[in-house]
Amino acid sequence: MKVLLVKDVKNLGKAGEVKEVKDGYGQNFLIAKGFAQSATTEVLRKFESDKKKQAENLRFELANLEKLKEELAKITLEISKPVGANGALFGGVTKDEIAHALKEQKNIELDKKSLECETFKKLGFYEVSVKLGHAIHAQFKINIKAL
């Protein structure tokens, strides 16, 4: 019996491969547990079309991430905070505040967990790195000013 593996199966193969297996193993284990589907022409055709759709979606997502990366490179955020007598900030500028300022000023929504920076405790210009996903990293600048 030929089966199309839906998930990786140890000692048999990886997802997407078509394998020849014994009828009992294919029906009673692989298909019953959801590891495989019977490899009919319809199932194979559907699998190929789904694979093409996923590749197209990935290309679209990567293009959007590259566009966002270029957009972020041009940005300089302005963040105003109260300062003490020695020029040090009260508290600091956190990732959450940076993400909120980015949303308010530039209408770009990023998760604060994707920002790679420490809490800034002094006035000045800083660079912030962002993990966008799919091994794409971007950077933008922030200017922390006295309120």
Give the tens place of pLDDT for each residue, 42-52. 999 999 999 99
Pairwise CA distance, residues 114 & 72, whole Å: 13
Amino acid at 46: K
**Residue 89's pLDDT is what?**
86
Q: What is the pLDDT of residues 70-115, one digit of tens each?
A: 999 999 999 999 988 777 888 889 999 999 999 999 999 999 999 9
Distance CA 116, CA 4 (A): 41
Give percent of the chain above pLDDT 70: 100
Q: Residues 35, 38, 42, CA angle at the centre, nearest 5°?
A: 120
- Mean pLDDT in residue range 7-36: 95
